[in-house]
Chain A
Amino acid sequence: MRKYKAVIGLEMHCEVKSNSKVFSSARNSYNDTPNANIRPIDLAFPGTLPTLNIECIRKALLMSLILNCKVPEYMYFDRKNYYYPDLPKGYQITQMHDPVGVNGHITIDVDDYSKDVLIHDIHLEEDSASLDHYSTISLIDYNRAGVPLLELVTEPCLSSSKEAVAFLEYMRRVYQYADISEADTKKGQIRCDVNVSIMDEDSTELGTKVEIKNVNSFANVASAIDYEIKRQSELKDAGRYDEVEQETRRFDEESGTTIRMRGKVDAIDYKYYVEPNIPKFKIDSAWLEKIKKDIPVLPRERKQHYMDDLGLSEYDANIIIKEKDYADYFEKCVSLGMNPKVAANYLTVQIIAYLNKEGITLKDFYLIPEYLLEITTELDKETISSKQAKEIFNKSLEEKKEPKNYLSENKQISNEVELAEIINKILENNQEQIEEYKNGKTNLFQYFVGQVMKETKGKANPNMVRDILNSKLN
């Protein structure tokens, strides 16, 4: 198989977090009970009309600004007309003529290089209901009908499955960082369509575009792209490139292949036209300025900051920016005065391990940065040992009590006078052992240390004990 240049474009649908749905006052929340979050409009009962959730508009504008898009002067919506059992109204309210953002770009990191991904547009729309197909029946759950959805469309500017996944991973984080979406693929909050074509390495002429619809995980996006590049390349190698048709396919998870759904001639005419029930309104520039202020520091900028200013390794920085919760926790620790490396170490090793073990998120993690600081401060002052620190960490989590409660009972004795007194007393009571030690039985040093520890119930600062013993015995 020859190597061809792949040209990939993505459509990323992401469910927006909000109290109510975008054009309906029903609750927008993930719900296991089917058809619990519904209002008459979600089932398109005759006479129902759309309402408009301003918070969803705000979030759409925020994302548009993050993506450096051009924001339209007026906000309005379009109807996309088609019949499908998951679409009760027979049309979807979306944006076609004037999306909330066009002509944007965002920089992402792919392994060891960075790439500027061009954004064709981003638009706000409503989700459809979800269907469950069984052998003889299909069930419809309208909880999802009307859930706000942001659809982001890239230019065909990606060249490999690796870049595609890097982009999706990065965007997922951006959605979380900006608090626009939970962006949880497991809850089906992100769905993708993928466009793939190939062309000769030295060519500038785009090949025939094939669209793969509704790919539901990033791993499947990669598989679908790789499969499609392979399929198209093999046909081209065999001189049968004309068999690559402009068509819509779907990814079959079981076989790891793509399967034809419909060709270009069967393409649906969605008969888009302006939604008459939502009056066009001007996007207030003061409002837009206010939204601009809500743009968070994005993961890529944060990573740079952690490495350049806080001295973290790229490895640690990458782990921390993976989730906004991690990054926020880390930054809070640093802002409280914690040593960045210590904070990073706690987070990337102990805390994440604990979260994974308990199956919880950082939001439910008992040891907030302020509590962690209680431990690290003492560790810094060497009033506790790292072993003790670990014990306090665990105990505090286990009993859900502030670390300071354990510090007094665990506090190291680091007072030289106090330690010297204890040591003197022990030496007085162990004259025989001193003799033996001085006669060459040097391993008895450990015995003296043990005695001190026993006396102090392990709280003596071991380094200081060694120093004092050294000075007294040698």
Chain B
Amino acid sequence: MIKTIEELHEMLKNGEVTSDELVKDSLKKAHNVQDKCNAFVTILDDAHGSEVTDDILSGIPYGIKDNYSTKGILSTGSSNTLKDYVPFFTATAVSNLEKHNVVPIGKTAMDEFGMGGTGTTAHTGNILNPWDTKRMAGGSSSGSAASVAAGVYPFALGSDTGDSIRKPAAFCGIVGYKPTYGMISRYGLFPFASSLDHCGCLTRSVKDAAIVVDAMKGIDKNDLTSWDSSDIHLYDSLDGKVKGKKLFYIKEIVNLENYPDASLELKEHLNNFYHTLDYLKEEGVEVDEVSIDKNLINTIFSVYECLSCAEATSNMSNLTGIIFGPRGEGKNINEMMKDHRTKGFSSLIKRRFVIGSYILQKENQERYFVNAQRVRRLIVDKMNELFKTYDGLIMPVSTGPAPYIDGSKDEITKDNTTNLEEHLQIGNFGGFPSITIPNGFVNDLPVGINITGKCYDDANVLNIAFALECKMPYKNQVAPQFKEGENA
């Protein structure tokens, strides 16, 4: 049932539908999406409805990215190193949600341990975009984005270290929100790069994202980086009043002049971005073009690569196949660990481990790791300086719609578009609240726009996104071939 959470709650309350019916419908769609998009690692066929209360989330089905630890439910992180791992404890974000009587339908496939942006590195195979299955869903929260975009349920959990919620959301035409760092506990989230990792959600509307994160968030004694957000009520704060708000975009990334050889797709995407800004202006929002030192902008991807690979190398040192995961073969423990890791990880991850190890080596640490940390600080300081004037940064997501999986038919822009593809990482550097919403189509495929604000200012960021969403016709959209009644 392609409805918002509010609508579903209403229907559940007045008996138009039961939680059991919703769950059955959701499971059926999950299997359909699995057939077409390979979005799941696990579908929980035994799932059944739960008690419907006054809680807006009660009785509603949802999906969980497979890097959330779920007690008694296979949790692989889409990696062979954990292919049979069934945890005995549940991630705080999930157990917080469980208090609201939500019903998990499945564990969604992802780029292995979140370390990719394509959805092509899961141990269960490529995850495909429901709008066009020859295209990527984006990653790493690929299965979550694909299943929400295909209308399996109103929301799924994601995680975001670089843009892993916000990019697949754009590619799948839905909403992706990662709140301020520490608003949602990371306890039970398989780590990629701890200082950049965020929990969050994928939904089809800003309001749904607010409802879901309200339920996921909260200070957690098991996560020292979590903080008390009990006075923040995201859902209740959405009033759509944005007159007088100020946003900026970064000229060095967005301006078409940066891309003299831009493909038609890219041009269309950027023009669409400017067009979207007009909606905000109509609502009384001031949008300014801001110039930032190009040298600083150019560092974003390298800084991300250095920090994320370095932290990942260390974070994943627990994957040895000794305590959990398939035991490797070998004459001694070192050989066993080596065998486990050689067989278990995809080549992309191994590449990142090599980079991470190199960066952390004593003789390289100052040059790469420490400098990356310094530049991260410079970028965050620059943003915080701008956030004194502005309510948020508004930017187009990536260079356009989702690329083809085999890359063959992509329109190639000869200019370097790295900054356009990677700028969402700014949100992870600063732990800033950041939300992507769909803002139209290029070549009949969805594209997205992102708003990022200052830490703890989630309600404001969501409210601006909400106001913008209301101006556009993309709320609660579903990939055409998965629309109601069109299921194969």
Instruction: Judge whether B360 and A271 touch: CB under 8 Å.
Output: yes
Instruction: Judge whether B69 and A46 touch: CB under 8 Å.
Output: yes
B361 proximal to A (CB < 8 A)? yes
Which of the four size classes fits the interface of chain B?
35 or more
Instruction: Judge whether B88 and A88 touch: CB under 8 Å.
Output: no
Instruction: Judge whether B224 and A88 touch: CB under 8 Å.
Output: no
Which of B228-236, B312-320, B399-407, B451-459 is the interface stretch?
B312-320
Q: Which residue of B lies closest to A80 (CB)?
A: B314
Instruction: Judge whether A83 and B89 touch: CB under 8 Å.
Output: no
A442 proximal to B (CB < 8 A)? no
Bound-complex Cα distance A40 to B320 (A): 16
A273 proximal to B (CB < 8 A)? yes
Q: Assuming the A-B contacts A46-B85, A51-B224, A83-B337, are A89 and B317 also in contact, with contact meaning beta carbons closer than 8 angstroms in the complex? A: yes
B357 proximal to A (CB < 8 A)? yes
A47 proximal to B (CB < 8 A)? yes
A336 proximal to B (CB < 8 A)? no
Q: Assuming the A-B contacts A85-B322, A85-B333, A90-B317, are A269 and B362 also in contact, with contact meaning beta carbons closer than 8 angstroms in the complex? A: yes
B187 proximal to A (CB < 8 A)? yes
A79 proximal to B (CB < 8 A)? yes
Selected from B222, B320, B369, the residue in CB contact (under 8 A) with A90 is B320
CB neighbors of A among B81-122 (8 A): 82, 85, 87-89, 91
Which of A201-209, A254-262, A275-283, A415-423 is the interface stretch?
A275-283
Selected from A47, A51, A52, A88, the residue in CB contact (under 8 A) with B69 is A47
CB neighbors of A among B331-374 (8 A): 333-334, 337, 357, 360-362, 365, 369
Q: Assuming the A-B contacts A43-B323, A81-B314, are A273 and B334 also in contact, with contact meaning beta carbons closer than 8 angstroms in the complex? A: no
Instruction: Judge whether A83 and B317 touch: CB under 8 Å.
Output: yes
Bound-complex Cα distance A90 to B88 (A): 21
Which of B25-33, B189-197, B296-304 is the interface stretch?
B189-197
Instruction: Judge whether B190 and A89 touch: CB under 8 Å.
Output: no
B85 to chain A, nearest CB (A): 7
Instruction: Judge whether A40 and B190 touch: CB under 8 Å.
Output: no
Instruction: Judge whether A79 and B69 touch: CB under 8 Å.
Output: no
CB neighbors of B among A182-235 (8 A): none
Instruction: Judge whether B314 and A279 touch: CB under 8 Å.
Output: no
A-B contact count (CB 8 A): 98
B123 proximal to A (CB < 8 A)? no
The proximity string for B residues 152-195 relative to A, scoring 1 for CB distances below 8 Å and 0 otherwise, is 00000000000000000000000000000000001111110111
B88 to chain A, nearest CB (A): 7
Bound-complex Cα distance A91 to B316 (A): 10
Bound-complex Cα distance A374 to B109 (A): 77
Q: Assuming the A-B contacts A48-B187, A49-B222, are A269 and B361 also in contact, with contact meaning beta carbons closer than 8 angstroms in the complex? A: yes
Instruction: Judge whether B224 and A276 touch: CB under 8 Å.
Output: no
Q: Assuming the A-B contacts A46-B85, A49-B186, A49-B224, are A276 and B195 also in contact, with contact meaning beta carbons closer than 8 angstroms in the complex? A: yes
Give the interface of B toward A (CB within 8 A): 67-69, 75, 77, 82, 85, 87-89, 91, 186-191, 193-195, 221-225, 310-311, 313-314, 316-320, 322-324, 333-334, 337, 357, 360-362, 365, 369
Give the interface of A toward B (CB within 8 A): 40, 43-52, 79, 81, 83, 85, 88-91, 138, 269, 271, 273, 276-279
Of the A-B pairs whose beta carbons lie under 8 Å apart in the complex, a sample of 17, sorted by A's number, is: A40-B88, A40-B89, A44-B323, A46-B69, A47-B190, A48-B187, A49-B186, A49-B187, A51-B224, A79-B314, A83-B320, A88-B318, A88-B323, A138-B333, A271-B357, A273-B369, A278-B224
